[in-house]
Chain A
Amino acid sequence: MLDILSLLDISFFLLAALGALVGIIFGAIPGMTATMAVAVCLPLTYALGLNHGLALLLGLYVGGISGGMVPAVLLNIPGTPSSITTTFDGYPMAQKGEGERALKVCVVASLVGGLLSAAVLFLFAPLLAEFSIKFSYVEKFLIILLALTVIASMSRNMLVGIFSGVLGIWLSLIGTYSISDGGNGHTRLMFDFLEPYLFDGFSLLPVLIGIFGIATILLEAEEGIKGGLGGKHVEFGKGSGFSFGLFKGRLTNLVRSSFIGTFVGMLPGVGGSAASVLAYTQEKNLARDSSEMGKGAPQGLIASESANNALTGGALIPLLSLGIPGDSTTAVLIGAFTLQGIQVGPLFIPENADTWYVMMTALVFANVVMFFLMFYAIKHIAKVVLVPKYILYPIIVMMCVVGAYAINYGIMFDVWTLLIFGVLGYLIQKVGLEVAPLIIGFILGGQAEVYFVKSLESFGTYSIFFTKSPIAVVLWLLIAASVAFSVIISLKGRAKRQAEAF
């Protein structure tokens, strides 16, 4: 034990704190992600050594995932893909002048999610890794399908919502079924002249920023300049203030969402966005009153943010106990180990106990630093919405363009993607389609295809989706329940509206 304490010097903690701060900034800038922050700083681990390097990288990871909430709430732009569900309730709250309150709810939820998942990682990593390998292609497909059912419950009009979702899935299939995923690598759903640009399909982040950020700006621009956003709408202080009382009665949501985040994080190949989407769906289905969700309800923020921060601990489970990264950021993180000549695999924890404890310390510390940095800085950050729009929006557009250009190391087509989806986002709202289902379809569509095809390739029959394992059966029950809840909620809503009309 003393050995470990001797590894934890002051610079260790300073690096973790610095990582969290830089991560938050990366996460908060649309187009910059936690993955990028970790990738940019990866070569530093050569100079810093493994333990100090890990402190910095884990700080960046936690900070980067958390920072995404800021633009999601204040500007309706998910700073990272996993904060997409944060926009659903965060932005409406910010518009009502409750930006600060929304952000504080997010920060507390993030802290709880991060710490709970760290605890799960520490106590159950090898056991859960054992469990996670029971999830083959079939179960992973069903998880994605479960997450897709959110489309039904989130739509204002279910039919339009489902149509939008299908459209999103269709958009995600543009490109190729990659050879590295076992596909034929032929381009599809495009004209020949587009092949050089769309070989890998539309890039996720420019699509997200375009459809949320640019479209929002276009819609606002349509209204013209009305003397800035108008400080009168934004009430700081009493009335809309934050208190921990907000979490009263929300403990189940907080804990459930944290566990969902951890769980999805530990399934390799099921992306981070699925975690917050899944947590959001479950809250929508299981809460006593979820009618306000999507219109500015703190419970939506709690679900989304606790789940996406819980990803951090979850994604480290397969990394440290199987040598398999749980998400894109941990896939970069694995480089820190290989650069130092350390193998990660099923024997990593027993053979590198010191590194393991050091990582846990860094993870917990980074979460705490993230909390204090954000909780006390939010009052000032939230004032961003007070900046007049004619100054704020050009700056945002510029950041979006830079972010889109940088995301794949300098591809100009990503900037065009940003513009195309910005205009598309604007148009689909004009014709009455729904953005949220479309984007969820887009995010999950590609994975759904790969897992579906691979399930069939492996087992050769459709019935395998029902008979593969008890886990598959449980997932089907959850899917059925999720769809049923959505229908019931929708019918109830209609009945209520009709009753009000009379």
Chain B
Amino acid sequence: MSMPSIYKTLGTSVLMAGMAFGGSAAMAADAHLPGNVRVVIGSTSTGGDTYQNSSIVADALAKHLDINMKVDAVGASSAFRFLDRDPRGNTLMIFHDQSYLGNLYGVEGYSDIFDKYTIGPTVAINPGNAYLVPKDSPYQTLDDVIEAVGNGEEVRVAIQPGGVSEIGFSALKNAIALEHPGMEDNLVAVNTGSQADKNQQLFDGQADMINGTVQANEQYTRLPADDQKAMRFLWLTARESTIAQAPEDGLGQTTREQLLQYVEPNVTVPMGNGDNFTFDKEFFFLFNKDMDPAIVDQIDQALTEIYADGEIQETQKNAFFIPDFKPSDEAAEYLETKMSVYKDIITNIQ
């Protein structure tokens, strides 16, 4: 390349960069959402469902709005802090029901999100929250567990305390208290951490039942019965209508039909108000309270168009998520009602 042509190329590049920058700046001014957006999530894992689902949504939004979006797995307490100090809209948060369950269980670092933040749109459900027993467990159904505990037998359940992993346990305890008053203390929580820890408790015989997920535990349920690691699903907390939307092939080699056996009404955990307990782990946006409402509208609008397009639903379903878009206002009302149901359960068993 001769010298003049280098200058020409350089000049063109600078010009193009300038135009691109000017263009995006102008667009951002029209549209409110800044050109570079950081999406913080309430999990530190890049291998988990929060990261995976947030990536799908952030990618779709970035493409649709022609801006940059980057998902950062910073964990709950950091994510809340980052969100607290950024009202400009450069930082958004995606998290799930843990964000208010943490507060209901009194976990440090969780405040009332309905008061402190603007609730954004819901985007998807992970229908996989499950309870499992060893394959050779004497408990064939969840009713067996309720019955055994009611008869004074101690059943130990490995959970991660303070949120999504505990809510099913709390509901079960509540159901036992209703059916066999005074016996609920025989359902004992074994507090652990990661999924690996919960599995290990089962292998060690330190727990009779564990909280897990369809995604992480499905292969274990297909191991031969004589394998120490073999497990069996007993209960999926998701609503029947949620699992019914999963792909027909289900996950791994467990079909949707098989998964439906483990949800309400086939497996029931009464709440005492005539309804049975269900729990869908739902992902939604959280915004800084002082963020310009126009940005909320813009995100709602963009997601409405993205979901109308239909492509994102396919991506989500392929990753075993159930699409569940609700715009901000609707989402806030819905989640607050959902929270109050779980609040009652947690209060009942305290």
The reply to whether chain A is a binding partner of chain B is: yes
Contact residues of A with B, CB < 8 Å?
A: 39, 42-43, 46, 130, 133, 136-137, 176, 178-182, 185-187, 196, 199-200, 268-269, 318, 322-325, 331-335, 337-339, 341, 343, 345-348, 408-409, 411, 450, 454, 457-459
- Is the CB–CB distance between B74 and A324 below 8 Å? no
Cβ of B200 within 8 Å of any chain A Cβ, yes or no, is yes
Closest beta carbon of chain B to A373's beta carbon, Å: 26
Closest beta carbon of chain B to A343's beta carbon, Å: 6
Q: Which of these, A179, A335, A345, contacts B52 with CB under 8 Å?
A: A335
**Contact A457 B47, CB 8 Å, known A199-B109, A269-B196, A324-B196:** no
Contact residues, B241-284 vs A (CB, 8 A): 251-252
Cβ of B26 within 8 Å of any chain A Cβ, yes or no, is no
Q: Determine the distance from Cα of A331 to Cα of B43 in the docked complex, in whole angstroms.
A: 13
Q: Determine the distance from Cα of A268 to Cα of B197 in the docked complex, in whole angstroms.
A: 9
- Is the CB–CB distance between B55 and A43 below 8 Å? yes
**Contact A408 B74, CB 8 Å, known A338-B47, A345-B218:** yes
**Contact A325 B160, CB 8 Å, known A339-B52, A346-B220:** no
Q: Determine the distance from Cα of A318 to Cα of B236 in the docked complex, in whole angstroms.
A: 26
Residue ID in chain A nearest B189 by CB atoms: A182
Q: Determine the distance from Cα of A180 to Cα of B227 in the docked complex, in whole angstroms.
A: 29
- Is the CB–CB distance between A457 and B199 below 8 Å? no
Q: Determine the distance from Cα of A187 to Cα of B78 in the docked complex, in whole angstroms.
A: 15
Q: Determine the distance from Cα of A269 to Cα of B190 in the docked complex, in whole angstroms.
A: 18
Contacts of B193 in A (CB 8 A): 178, 180-182, 450
Q: Determine the distance from Cα of A2 to Cα of B192 in the docked complex, in whole angstroms.
A: 45
Cβ of B87 within 8 Å of any chain A Cβ, yes or no, is no
- Is the CB–CB distance between B46 and A332 below 8 Å? yes
Contacts of A199 in B (CB 8 A): 77, 109
Given contacts A185-B108, A457-B190, 10 further A-B contacts (CB under 8 A): A39-B46, A136-B200, A323-B216, A324-B196, A335-B47, A339-B55, A450-B193, A457-B191, A458-B201, A459-B206
Contact residues of B with A, CB < 8 Å?
A: 45-49, 51-52, 55, 59, 71-74, 77-78, 81, 107-109, 160-162, 190-197, 199-201, 203-204, 206, 215-220, 222-223, 227-229, 251-252, 318-320
Q: Which 3 A-B pairs have the closest CB atoms?
A: A345-B219, A334-B47, A182-B191
Question: Would you give 7 A-B contacts (Cβ < 8 Å), ordered by A?
Answer: A133-B203, A133-B228, A185-B162, A331-B46, A338-B52, A346-B220, A346-B227
Contacts of B195 in A (CB 8 A): 324
- Is the CB–CB distance between B47 and A346 below 8 Å? no
Q: Determine the distance from Cα of A128 to Cα of B81 in the docked complex, in whole angstroms.
A: 42
Which among A176, A199, A335 has the greatest number of chain B C-beta atoms within 10 A? A335
Closest beta carbon of chain B to A346's beta carbon, Å: 5
Q: Determine the distance from Cα of A331 to Cα of B195 in the docked complex, in whole angstroms.
A: 12
Contacts of B51 in A (CB 8 A): 335
Q: Which of these, A136, A345, A454, contacts B216 with CB under 8 Å?
A: A345
- Is the CB–CB distance between B219 and A346 below 8 Å? yes
Q: Determine the distance from Cα of A46 to Cα of B52 in the docked complex, in whole angstroms.
A: 11
Contacts of A187 in B (CB 8 A): 108
- Is the CB–CB distance between A341 and B319 below 8 Å? yes
Closest beta carbon of chain B to A356's beta carbon, Å: 14
Contacts of A136 in B (CB 8 A): 200, 204, 206
Residue ID in chain B nearest A196 by CB atoms: B81
Closest beta carbon of chain A to B74's beta carbon, Å: 5
Residue ID in chain B nearest A39 by CB atoms: B46
Closest beta carbon of chain B to A132's beta carbon, Å: 10
Contacts of B220 in A (CB 8 A): 345-346
Contacts of B191 in A (CB 8 A): 182, 457
Contacts of A337 in B (CB 8 A): 47
- Is the CB–CB distance between B77 and A200 below 8 Å? yes
Contacts of B194 in A (CB 8 A): 180, 269
Contacts of B108 in A (CB 8 A): 176, 179, 185-187
Q: Determine the distance from Cα of A182 to Cα of B193 in the docked complex, in whole angstroms.
A: 6
Contacts of A324 in B (CB 8 A): 195-196, 199
Contacts of A178 in B (CB 8 A): 193
Closest beta carbon of chain A to B347's beta carbon, Å: 20
Contacts of B73 in A (CB 8 A): 39
- Is the CB–CB distance between A347 and B47 below 8 Å? no
Q: Determine the distance from Cα of A185 to Cα of B161 in the docked complex, in whole angstroms.
A: 11
Contacts of B320 in A (CB 8 A): 341
Contacts of A185 in B (CB 8 A): 107-109, 162
Q: Determine the distance from Cα of A333 to Cα of B81 in the docked complex, in whole angstroms.
A: 27
Closest beta carbon of chain A to B62's beta carbon, Å: 11
Closest beta carbon of chain B to A26's beta carbon, Å: 16
- Is the CB–CB distance between A346 and B223 below 8 Å? yes
- Is the CB–CB distance between A133 and B47 below 8 Å? no
Contacts of B45 in A (CB 8 A): 331, 335
Contacts of A408 in B (CB 8 A): 74, 78
- Is the CB–CB distance between A458 and B204 below 8 Å? yes
Residue ID in chain B nearest A318 by CB atoms: B196
Contacts of A458 in B (CB 8 A): 190, 201, 204, 206
Q: Determine the distance from Cα of A179 to Cα of B48 in the docked complex, in whole angstroms.
A: 18
Contacts of A42 in B (CB 8 A): 46
Contacts of A43 in B (CB 8 A): 55, 71
Q: Determine the distance from Cα of A224 to Cα of B285 in the docked complex, in whole angstroms.
A: 55
Contacts of A343 in B (CB 8 A): 215-216, 218-219, 251-252
Which among B160, B194, B195 has the greatest number of chain A C-beta atoms within 10 A? B194
Residue ID in chain B nearest A411 by CB atoms: B78
Contacts of A130 in B (CB 8 A): 228
Q: Determine the distance from Cα of A465 to Cα of B195 in the docked complex, in whole angstroms.
A: 24
**Contact A333 B47, CB 8 Å, known A323-B216, A323-B219:** yes
Residue ID in chain A nearest B206 by CB atoms: A458
Contacts of A457 in B (CB 8 A): 190-191
Q: Determine the distance from Cα of A411 to Cα of B218 in the docked complex, in whole angstroms.
A: 38
Closest beta carbon of chain A to B142's beta carbon, Å: 23
**Contact A182 B55, CB 8 Å, known A331-B45, A338-B47:** no
Contacts of B107 in A (CB 8 A): 179, 185
Q: Determine the distance from Cα of A334 to Cα of B215 in the docked complex, in whole angstroms.
A: 12
Q: Determine the distance from Cα of A269 to Cα of B196 in the docked complex, in whole angstroms.
A: 9
Contacts of A325 in B (CB 8 A): 47, 196
Q: Determine the distance from Cα of A348 to Cα of B218 in the docked complex, in whole angstroms.
A: 11
Which among A130, A179, A186, A343 has the greatest number of chain B C-beta atoms within 10 A? A179
Contacts of B216 in A (CB 8 A): 323, 343, 345
Contacts of B228 in A (CB 8 A): 130, 133
Q: Determine the distance from Cα of A438 to Cα of B72 in the docked complex, in whole angstroms.
A: 32
Q: Which of these, A180, A323, A335, A411, contacts B46 with CB under 8 Å?
A: A335
Q: Determine the distance from Cα of A366 to Cα of B318 in the docked complex, in whole angstroms.
A: 31
Contacts of A322 in B (CB 8 A): 196, 199, 229
Closest beta carbon of chain A to B198's beta carbon, Å: 11
Closest beta carbon of chain B to A280's beta carbon, Å: 27
Closest beta carbon of chain A to B155's beta carbon, Å: 16
Contacts of B48 in A (CB 8 A): 335, 338
- Is the CB–CB distance between A133 and B200 below 8 Å? yes
Closest beta carbon of chain A to B225's beta carbon, Å: 14
Contacts of B161 in A (CB 8 A): 179, 182
Residue ID in chain B nearest A200 by CB atoms: B77
Closest beta carbon of chain A to B139's beta carbon, Å: 21
Closest beta carbon of chain B to A138's beta carbon, Å: 9
Contacts of A348 in B (CB 8 A): 219
- Is the CB–CB distance between A409 and B72 below 8 Å? yes
